Structure 1
Amino acid sequence: MDFSQLVALFSSDPQATVRTGLRFVHFIGLASGLGGAILLDLMMLRFFVRGRIIKETSDIFEFASKIVSAGLFVLWITGVGFLFLYALTNPELLMNPKVHAKLMIVTILTVNGFFIHTIILPGVKRPIGKSLFTDISPLKRTVFMTSGAISAVSWFLPVALGAFPQLNNNVPVMVILTAYLLLIATAAVLMHGVVYMLHKSESEPAPVFRLRNPVRNPV
């Protein structure tokens, strides 16, 4: 197949080509955002709870957050593109409850991302040389953990919704959003459990081993 045949293949159905291009870029945004969000959560649990924050890890945290922001931007651009394409070609697709649920989830994701950039990231840069949760109240720690859970689940669920076309027009919005909230609650509880176990293991003193029948020095 030469180049002219390839161009003819894509130009034969412009609508399908535009939809495929949007879907491809949309998946790139989802993959970038989901990967960055998982990386941030793992770094929070591994490096910033047990380890000490150094400038290098703080820079990695900021870089990963920029990738997540870029993925979110791509997600919005392609999502709006899909809405325009549906409105022009297949308006009935706009009635799909899955589309409404994704819009609400991405909106929550955007608000949570703004919170992370304005509240959490400055808090990460502040305690250089200490643990992330040093001198942080339990309430603020809970807010940090819940924000991380919202980020991870809000990136994971749109990927899942896009991967299962069986959900199209078959599952009400409230069912999807209820499952979404339950996943956030479960993820938050798991993250709190991991943090608690890590702090508990750090606070426990090292065991002291003694001989049961020590041998006395001969006189």
Structure 2
Amino acid sequence: MVKQLLKADPAEKLDSKHLSDLQKTVSLALIALWVSGVAIVSLDASIKGWGYFANPKLQSKIAIVCLLTLNGFALHKYVLPLMQKAGSLLKLSFSQRMFAIFTGAVSGVSWFYAAMLGIGRPLNWKYSLFEILAAYPVLIVGGFVSMAMLTAWSQYKASGESRAFQGTMMVGAH
């Protein structure tokens, strides 16, 4: 999608098969994430007891995976069908586009954050839940703003506004 936005070609449609494959891949990845997560947490909790769940890093991972799952439902139920119908992010209405960009930013950041928490053993018991999650909303806002700006630029470029602007400047100069 980013490649399509960089090209700024409104006639280029997203590959419907790619979106369908993406939907299946994300669904399988979420299932694998839940199955492996529940198995690992169950094993650790059986060894370490209920106090294991007081670990702020574990609480962060559980919260992010739950948000990722809810966001996945929104992507599958609303965003991907809209994208398949429209054929391009640029062809969505403004509110639909902003929703798609937001859910995309939440998805990307959540997968990244969950992976980082998964490998971040030094975070165990060292930081509070607030400290561990402090960067999460900042990264979501950053991802959203970046994609919104890229989309606005792509739409501007695709509409030919830059050429129209140059034309009016030349007319005004005569």
- TM-score, normalized by length of structure 1? 0.67
Compared CA separation, residues 133 and 202, structure 1 to 2 (3 A)? closer
- Does the 8 A contact of 2:5 with 2:154 survive in 1? no
- The structure whose RCO (Cα within 8 Å, separation 6+) is larger is 2
Taking the TM superposition and a 5 Å limit, the aligned residue runs for 1:36-115 are 43=1, 45-47=2-4, 50-51=8-9, 52-53=12-13, 57-91=15-49, 92-115=51-74
- Does the 8 A contact of 1:97 with 1:168 survive in 2? yes
- Runs (4 or more) in structure 1 with deviation over 6 Å come to none
Q: Deviations over 1:123-178 (max 9, x none)?
A: 122124xx3332x3322211110100000000000111122221111111122223
Compared CA separation, residues 189 and 48, structure 1 to 2 (3 A)? closer
SS in 2 for 1:133: helix
Measured in 1, the distance between the counterparts of 2:136 and 2:31 equals 22
Aligned counterpart, 2:114: 158
Measured in 2, the distance between the counterparts of 1:161 and 1:64 equals 24
Q: Which amino acid aligns with 2:130?
A: M
Q: Which amino acid aligns with 2:83?
A: V
- Could you say which structure has the higher helix fraction? 2
SS in 2 for 1:205: helix
Q: Deviations over 1:44-101 (max 9, x none)?
A: x3326834215xx121122022111111101101111112101211224332111110
Deviates more, 1:161-170 or 1:86-95: 86-95
Deviates more, 1:144-153 or 1:92-101: 92-101
- Provide the alpha-carbon RMSD of the alignment: 2.1
Aligned counterpart, 1:40: none
Identical-pair percentage: 32
Aligned counterpart, 2:151: 195
SS in 2 for 1:88: helix
Aligned counterpart, 2:137: 181
Aligned counterpart, 2:123: 167
**Greater Rg by CA:** 1
Q: Which amino acid aligns with 1:107?
A: C
User: What 5-or-longer segments of structure 1 have no aligned partner?
Assistant: 1-42, 211-219
Aligned counterpart, 2:82: 123
- Does the 8 A contact of 1:53 with 1:132 survive in 2? no
Matched, 1:145 2:104: no
What is the number of equivalent residue pairs in this alignment?
A: 161
Compared CA separation, residues 48 and 66, structure 1 to 2 (3 A)? farther
SS in 1 for 2:52: helix
C-alpha displacement at 1:106, in angstroms?
0.5
Measured in 2, the distance between the counterparts of 1:154 and 1:64 equals 17
Measured in 2, the distance between the counterparts of 1:48 and 1:194 equals 7
